[in-house]
Copies of this chain bind each other. A is one copy, B any other.
Amino acid sequence: MATSERASARPISAADYRRLAAFRHALRRFLAFSEAAARKAGITPQQHQALLAIKGAPSAAGVTVGYLARQLLLQPNSAAELADRMVNCGLLVRGEAADDRRRVLLCLTPSAEKALQALSTAHIRELRESAPVVDGLLELLKPGGAKSHRRQRTAST
């Protein structure tokens, strides 16, 4: 069974590995840019993500800890800890939901708004530059990339 496992049935070509590696490298570069930008703005990368998730939420009146956890793909307790650190940093304020007093509404402070705006401007600029690169890398993996059935027109490479 180990010999004909489905996952190993179709060998990956050297070109596939190169493309995957290049894609992940591009991803890391973007994330590194983002982290550096956040730290330059005086906040941690996770805090930046949290600010964006809150600011980009449908409800403009603040979001709950649970919402933050779902957006950031964190466990609820981790989101509560993150929110706690951000409150201590003066980035967020906690409020209570009127209808359900278990819930805590997280709202950005003015300084957080300011930092997020600057970061968002920089990120939009960066994305406009690097999007074509990522696009190109995704393109290579998408169509007949690892190819198996269809033949693509060989562009040399």
Q: How far is the CB of A117 from chain B (nearest CB, A)?
A: 5
- Among A80-88, A91-99, A130-138, A149-157, which stretch is in contact with chain B? A130-138
Q: How far is the CB of A12 from chain B (nearest CB, A)?
A: 5
Which single member of B23, B53, B121 contacts A12 (CB below 8 Å)?
Answer: B121
Q: How far is the CB of A149 from chain B (nearest CB, A)?
A: 13
Which single member of B20, B49, B71, B128 contacts A56 (CB below 8 Å)?
Answer: B20
A16-B124, A73-B28 known; A7+B52 contact, CB < 8 A: no
Interface size counted on chain A using CB atoms at 8 A: 51
A-B contacts besides A127-B142, A128-B142, 10 pairs, CB < 8 Å: A16-B120, A18-B58, A20-B120, A21-B52, A23-B127, A25-B53, A29-B73, A32-B73, A128-B145, A134-B138
